[in-house]
Amino acid sequence: MKIFSVVSKWYPIGVFFIIYHLSFSPAGAQTNVVSSYQLGAGETRLWDTYLSQEKFKGQGFTFLYSSERCKPGRRWNTVWKHEVSRASGDDRAERVSETSTEYTLVFGKRYNWEMNGFRLQAGAVLAFNIGAIQNSANSNNPVQARQSLQLMPSVKLSRDFTLIGQPFTIHEELQLPLVGEMFSPNYGQSYYELFSLGNYDRNIVLTTPFSAPHFRNQLSLDVHVPRFATLRLSYLATVLQSDVNGLKSSVSHQRVMIGFVKEFDISWHRP
């Protein structure tokens, strides 16, 4: 179907534009911004039955940019993340390899509470993921494209503390699946049939926590160095699974991250 080809081509661009536009504060507003930049490496596990029944295990790396914006005196934070990951793994016999590349854009809102020295944020985010998995042994269908959009409840808990005179902050952040959509070929359907012949076969699928579990957990420790910078150390775990159209997929990452945090104020003015 021609309409499916058009939607598949322009849908990711449209989602990115909408989220990017919504993320900015209105003109003339003062906003406090806390941004972090992190790079990490660790284990990756890949399994996609469209490409192979085998499970693959290897190493990969992730770059993560995150930003939290809040107007003075307001309770709502705007959450904004870019995450780029690349990994490769081998099968059990180490004869075939798969490579995964993906980009995730996260935008959302969280409400803030202060209680007994803890800072709690709770709300929801939209997580847009796009990428691909390539299998080194396949000649007919060597690549499986990935695309999903998830509405996810999001919770973050923070606590400041001092140890041996050194200030620290610990954060625990969790995102869970609620509802969304994803792209998937149907069982036995080739990309030639899908894109060249236009044979649409329920390739945009509504997802739930049961058909597409998508979890993200990050535990971080900030080391505040006076008059220098804030160092952030994190453990990041992400799991993207699906069981739709007779096909199963699972991509999981575990990363040890290191980076820095920057805090500043911005003010938008009309030209």
Least confident of 43-57, 105-119, 151-165, 192-206: 192-206
Whether residue 148 lies inside any domain: the answer is yes
CATH of the domain at 256: 2.40.128
Domain membership flag for residue 77: yes
* pLDDT for 6 beyond 50: no
Question: Dihedral (C-alpha) 217, 24, 37, 177: value to the nearest 10 degrees?
Answer: 10
pLDDT of 190? 85
Read off the pLDDT of each residue in 99-123 and give the average, rounded to a whole number.
Answer: 94
pLDDT score, position 102: 95
Structural domains counted in the chain: 1
How far apart are the C-alpha atoms of 26 and 58, rounded to whole Å? 44
Choice between 196 and 57, residue whose per-residue pLDDT is larger: 57
**Residue 9, helix vs strand vs coil:** helix
In a domain, 262, yes or no: yes
Residue 246: domain span? 2-23+36-267
Distances (CA, A) of 214 to 109, 153, 192, 252, 254: 19, 11, 29, 10, 14
pLDDT value at residue 2: 44
Q: Which pLDDT does position 66 carry in this prediction?
A: 95
In a domain, 246, yes or no: yes
- pLDDT score at 201: 81
pLDDT category of residue 266 using cuts at 50, 70 and 90: low
Tokens of 263: 């805090």
The answer to whether position 76 is within a domain reads yes
Residue 217 pLDDT greater than 70, yes or no: yes
pTM for the predicted model, two decimal places: 0.84
Asked whether the predicted pLDDT for residue 262 surpasses 60, the reply is yes
Residue 197 domain-assigned (yes or no):
yes
Q: Is the pLDDT of residue 193 over 70?
A: yes
Q: Is it the case that residue 19 has pLDDT exceeding 90?
A: no
pLDDT digits (tens, 9 = 90+) for 47-56: 999 999 999 9
- Give tens-digit pLDDT for 131-181: 999 999 887 778 999 999 999 999 999 999 999 888 999 999 999 999 999
**Those residues with Cβ within 8 angstroms of residue 216's Cβ, 6 or more apart along the chain or in another chain:** 127, 152, 173, 174, 175, 236, 237, 238, 239
Q: Give the pLDDT of residue 117.
A: 86
Q: Go through 50-59 and write b for each residue having 16 or more CB atoms within 10 A of its CB, e for each that does not.
A: bbbebebbbe
CA dihedral sign of residues 258, 81, 148, 13: negative
Say yes or no to pLDDT of 126 above 90.
yes
84 in any annotated domain: yes
pLDDT of residue 31: 73
* Domain assignment of residue 30, yes or no: no
